[in-house]
Structure 1
Amino acid sequence: MLKKCTFLMLLLFGSTFVEAQSFTEQPQKTSKDTLKKHLLLKSIGTGYFPTKYFNFDLRYLIKFNQYEGIRTGVGGVTNKDFSDKYRLNSYVVYGFKDHRFKYSLGGGMRLIKESNTWLNLSYTDDLQETGSTKYITDDRVFQFFEPRLLNIDLFHKHITTSLTLEHQISDHLLSKVDFAVSNIDPTYDYAYELDNQTYNSFHLSTTIVGFQWSPFSKFKAMPLGTQEVKSGFPKFSFQYTKSFHDVFKGDFNFTKLDFRTIFELGHKKSHMAQVILVSGMAIGDTPLTHLYHAYPNNIRKEQILQRFSVAGLNSFETMYFNEFFSDKFFTCQLKYFIKPFRVTERYRPQVVLITRYALGDMDNIDRHQNVTFDTLNYGYTESGFEINKLLYGFGLSFTYRYGAYYLPTFSDNIAFKFTFNVSF
């Protein structure tokens, strides 16, 4: 526990330092120097540290989870000074608890400059959280500190070879198509039974088609590439996944449909309301690794203070890890940001009111062996509040679980955590 807390504080200190640097550094020289500093901070804010030909990816520096312990490594991608037609990307990391290296090797070739069309090939040997969904068209999401990672313990190993075509249909509409062959091996005791056959590990051959539509955002050509200069809402993401049986030795035949929309009304410096709607459906012979959870963020400890950790950005704080899984689900998250309290020019804590709701179901539960979980048939509800930026980005969070999945012991329904917010 002491090691975990020490690691956590180091991460938070480092993030706070970077935040302080971004606010205190003032232009001292020419406009050219100012532009360089701005681009450097902009690059770091998206998770890259640029050098002459190679941009180091800050995501791989250090992380922590229950399976790997401390995970550290190095990675990155070549930039335009290396080539504006070709790019190479790779990373290598090491987990000190599982004593295993993970890595990825890849590269891309630009086919059409005007539409920013790229063809990419990669080979990856790494871990992925069971039940998680990744939208392949997501903008690069980077956080120096990712709260949920600390307590995740359900991973599956995957060795994946993928071929990806990305195409900017317009500034507002991005599309990607991914063809992949994967070997999946759960790190936990799990078996999937189908047609009188038991699978402890399996092969998947998949095609993923994804779209991201931001009709009200504004974009501009920048030295770092086309970037969103003003966010407009709502934003929509749609993804179609098809797994093929007997294609490149694929074991299962299933289809997944995923949808997400984000809507914001108001302004972050004043009153603002945010709504996030997410839904997904898996049809066919789908193992637990590729089903859904609702992004829980609570650990199983008897006392409230033993569960004290860091609240996530869009996770269910009172929902315990591995408590629920679904093959069809829907979540709705409502946040209302009250206008920050102006104590001083720099010290402005903010109260956020939160309500979250999840609904789900699962067919053929008996196919999933050696694991125990519940479904969300009756609807899961939690509400609470956050007081953010009380001190150097730190704040507090209180969430209460109620409704159909209320637990018999009162304290088990409460999540008391701290928050951490860094902005560039």
Structure 2
Amino acid sequence: MLRSAFFAIFFLFCQASFAQYLIKGRVTDAETGDPIAFANVILKNTTTGITTDFEGYYSISAKVLSDSLVVSYLGYFTQSKKLENLPEQTLNFQLRPSSFELDAFVFESGENPAFEIIRRASERRRDFDKRSLQAYESKNYTKIEIDIDNLSEDFRQRKSVRSVTSVLDSIKQLTNDEGEKILPVFFSETVSKFYYRNNPELRKEVIEKTKVTGVGITDGSTTSQITGSVFQEYNFYKNWLNILNKDFISPIADGWKTYYDYDLLDSVYVENDFCYKLQVYPRREQDLAFSGTIWIKKDDYSLKQVDLTIPKAANLNFVERIKIQQELKPTTAGPLMPSKTRVMVKISQVTDKTAGLLAKFYTATDSIVVNDPQPTPFFNQAVELKPDFSEFEADFWQNSRPDPLSVEELAILQMVDTLKKIPIIRFYSEGLKFFATGYKPIGKIDVGPWPAFFNYNNLEGIRLGFGLRTNYKFSKKWVIQGYTGFGFRDLEWKYSASLTRILDRKRWTTIQVYSSKEIEQIGLEIASLQSNSVFLAASRFGTLRSPYFSRNHGLAFQREFFKGFLFKTGMNFSQFDPLFPFYYLEKDTKEYRNSFETTEFRAGIRYGRDEIIIINDNERASLGSLKWPIVEVNYAKGFNGLGGDLDYQKLSFYLYHRINLGLFGVGRYELDAGKIFGEVPYPILKNHLGNETIFYTTAAFNTMNFTEFTSDQYFSIRYRQSFEGFLLNSIPLMKKLKWRFVGNVNSLWGSVRDENIANVPSVDPEGNPLKTFGRLDLGTPYLELGYGVENIFKFFRVDFFHRMTYLDNPGAKPFHVKVSAQFIL
């Protein structure tokens, strides 16, 4: 009995001596509800602690408890919570961001020890860059959430918003009692296969399943193409990372010492890897660079994980914070692949009485296969939807998610579904889409475009118009489009109509018949200005310059034969009827005529090696190229026969390229060259686009008058430079205002052959003087230089242009001031 009691007491003593306390929980951002990875969690006044995992979770086992648990992380206020004397307890933390300023680190002698680590990591970039692989493919899960946040009381009390916020209040708060309320408007999940191939560098994403819900979202197929991982590429082994169409320098890029300072904080184990933990921050706070923490493995100097923020002081508009967290894993061949990436973009309020925007992106990658390249034709379409992409089941998503949806995310789905049914939300969301796209969907028909509903000019007076087109609900193979307008001064109807058959959506192939009757202007034709809708609309108000009635009928065919290579061909029949005094000398009869007809065969190619194309409804839309220029070559042959009066040929070449210049910002240049063979009236020639308005446009020469110069052979180069924060960031006042310096250089060479000069009379048959065209001297280029400032009050831009040549021309002015408004980050 005594012995049994002894053993019982001994057992209890041992149990007390080896008792384990378990503390677990999650650390999240109080404003966004996002998990905070790599945060420090430690028992107060002890050395017992751990860092949170990528999802923000932690778990600490301890023999002895302290009175509280402390959580800290760079860029957040430290928080502590009291511990209970319990064997197991759960404590969740919500940290609030702090506007921290990093101290300057001064080293008395020798080199900063962090520099050698960064130097070696930078030298070995190619060893670990996934682009050095011959090929790779992976299975990706991508989750996107977009919320409205910073719901001020003034915003909440607006009459149009009350019905929305009352719904928000009725649903469980989306973070918790320490967080802030958000209004979710979009949520998507996507499972895809991503493929990459080197030499040539090609990318493709196959969207296998997608689930999209959002306010104003009507076409899930279009949205699904931009919710995959192809648009969530964050490779810190590149020198520059493109985020929100801005280029940010990597902390381990070539020339890292020019942009960054570093501090070696600690040496720690991350999983089973011993890592250097380094703090990075920009040398100039306005530069497009990162602040935060990176972990570099000690054995090979590869990146293990990153937690980086683009600070508020960076020269960006409206962006309050961008945060990127990433874990990297080695492939069987050595280079690293991100296993998990989380990005948060917080857009600030434009005014105190408006709301902000919060966008969250999460990508998890697994099932990686390396160096097994797909054939080149496989990459023909950059983003491909599987036929059953819209069919999804609950079991599929439960098995595909790396982690289950949180309670907050389930509440977000409930909220978005509820918001979509509120009339005021539908009104505003559909109204915004109507303004942005120009069309209002009504069932299977789209009404628009709205800019053509009303116009006023000297020929037509008040002009009213109306247009319709079918959408994908009507058919994914046929597109019918039509428009009509009526001028109350000229009492003439104008119209356009087309019928398009989509033969192949994978290798984009269409055939189209069309017909139109419209008032055009020489050098300001609608077809050549469609990409600059604001300038086009402005040019058709007020006084029309050299107007004429144009009738066009034709057939057009296009096909993408391989990735980036689009071939176009067709026939066009047109009629030119001038609405201003015009004559030309007819070549065969030597008689003067004031109208003509043309019959043209057309062919052209367009090539963008890495251009990203998506299929938007029943249209092919370009999202631009990543690195290489976009090139177009076009040819046209006019026939004196088949209804045509003129025999000629046209050949043209166009190239556009965006180049990253690092510290100096971003440059863009355009080359345009062409030649017209044959004797033709000047409306057939190249009538160079000038700009007599006060508004700046990239489509024209901004110091040239309308129709001032015409050429039958020409070459132009236009270059514009956005210096971002370079130069002005070093001036204290400019740094605070975040103004940005811009520059332009535009030059043009051209000439007209004698036979095309001779066929333009200076007087009409009655002897009245006629306006002719201006000509360039091939040896003297037209040249204009411009400079200016953008980002004035975040929206406005002012450019100052100097015209350097042809100053003796009638109406020429040596100095011009142009203004414009733009929404840029």
The alpha carbon displacement at 1:97 in A equals: 5.6
Q: Give the aligned partner of residue 634 of structure 2.
A: 239
The alpha carbon displacement at 1:421 in A equals: 2.4
Structure 2 residue 610 is the aligned partner of structure 1 residue 208: no
Higher relative contact order (CA 8 A, sep 6+): 1
Q: Give the aligned partner of residue 703 of structure 2.
A: 318
- Pairing partner for 1:289 from 658, 661, 683: 683
- Pairing partner for 1:414 from 807, 812, 815: 815
Equivalent pair of 2:522/2:707 in contact (CA under 8 Å): no
Superposed CA deviations along residues 64-87 of structure 1, whole A, max 9, x for unmatched, are 666556654232421110111211
- Pairing partner for 2:752 from 353, 362, 369: 362
**Are the structure 2 counterparts of residues 269 and 251 from structure 1 closer, same or farther at C-alpha, using a change threshold of 3 Å?**
farther
The alpha carbon displacement at 1:269 in A equals: 11
**Are the structure 2 counterparts of residues 261 and 86 from structure 1 closer, same or farther at C-alpha, using a change threshold of 3 Å?**
same
Within 2, Cα distance between the matches of 1:280 and 1:92?
34
Structure 2 residue 583 is the aligned partner of structure 1 residue 191: yes
Equivalent pair of 1:130/1:290 in contact (CA under 8 Å): no
The alpha carbon displacement at 1:400 in A equals: 0.9
> Residue 33 of structure 1 aligns to which amino acid in structure 2?
G
- Pairing partner for 1:272 from 659, 666, 669: 666
Within 2, Cα distance between the matches of 1:319 and 1:228?
30
SS at match of 1:256: strand
Q: Give the aligned partner of residue 119 of structure 1.
A: 511
SS at match of 2:714: strand
Equivalent pair of 1:132/1:292 in contact (CA under 8 Å): no
Superposed CA deviations along residues 169-209 of structure 1, whole A, max 9, x for unmatched, are 23412222121211211221111102312221111111111
Within 2, Cα distance between the matches of 1:107 and 1:411?
45
Equivalent pair of 2:612/2:623 in contact (CA under 8 Å): yes
Q: Give the aligned partner of residue 304 of structure 1.
A: none
Equivalent pair of 2:523/2:707 in contact (CA under 8 Å): no
Within 2, Cα distance between the matches of 1:57 and 1:268?
40
The alpha carbon displacement at 1:131 in A equals: 3.5
Identical positions, percent = 21
Within 2, Cα distance between the matches of 1:160 and 1:277?
28
Moved more, 212-221 or 233-242: 212-221
The alpha carbon displacement at 1:62 in A equals: 4.3
Within 2, Cα distance between the matches of 1:64 and 1:336?
36
Superposed CA deviations along residues 333-375 of structure 1, whole A, max 9, x for unmatched, are 1111111578999975433201111111111202022333321
Superposed CA deviations along residues 293-312 of structure 1, whole A, max 9, x for unmatched, are 221112xxxxxxxxx62122
Structure 2 residue 521 is the aligned partner of structure 1 residue 129: yes
TM-score by length of 2: 0.43
Bigger proportion of residues as strand = 1
Equivalent pair of 2:688/2:708 in contact (CA under 8 Å): no
The alpha carbon displacement at 1:92 in A equals: 1.6
CA-based RMSD of the aligned residues comes to: 3.6
Q: Which runs of 5+ in 1 are unaligned?
A: 1-20, 299-307
SS at match of 1:316: coil
The alpha carbon displacement at 1:49 in A equals: 3.7
Equivalent pair of 2:532/2:699 in contact (CA under 8 Å): no
Q: Give the aligned partner of residue 13 of structure 1.
A: none
The alpha carbon displacement at 1:161 in A equals: 1.1
**Are the structure 2 counterparts of residues 360 and 312 from structure 1 closer, same or farther at C-alpha, using a change threshold of 3 Å?**
same
> Residue 398 of structure 1 aligns to which amino acid in structure 2?
F
SS at match of 2:702: strand
Q: Give the aligned partner of residue 371 of structure 1.
A: 771
Q: Which runs of 5+ in 2 are unaligned?
A: 1-147, 152-160, 162-181, 188-212, 224-429, 762-769
Structure 2 residue 741 is the aligned partner of structure 1 residue 351: yes
The alpha carbon displacement at 1:399 in A equals: 0.8
Moved more, 216-225 or 159-168: 216-225
**Are the structure 2 counterparts of residues 71 and 354 from structure 1 closer, same or farther at C-alpha, using a change threshold of 3 Å?**
farther
**Are the structure 2 counterparts of residues 145 and 314 from structure 1 closer, same or farther at C-alpha, using a change threshold of 3 Å?**
closer
- Pairing partner for 2:566 from 174, 184, 207: 174
The alpha carbon displacement at 1:102 in A equals: 1.5
- Pairing partner for 2:652 from 243, 258, 261: 258
Q: Give the aligned partner of residue 765 of structure 2.
A: none
**Are the structure 2 counterparts of residues 157 and 264 from structure 1 closer, same or farther at C-alpha, using a change threshold of 3 Å?**
same
SS at match of 1:320: coil
Q: Give the aligned partner of residue 100 of structure 1.
A: 492
> Residue 813 of structure 2 aligns to which amino acid in structure 1?
D
- Pairing partner for 1:393 from 795, 803, 812: 795
SS at match of 1:384: strand
Equivalent pair of 1:78/1:87 in contact (CA under 8 Å): yes
- Pairing partner for 1:87 from 479, 504, 509: 479
> Rg larger in 1 or in 2?
2
TM-score by length of 1: 0.79
SS at match of 1:289: helix
Equivalent pair of 1:351/1:388 in contact (CA under 8 Å): yes
SS at match of 1:319: coil
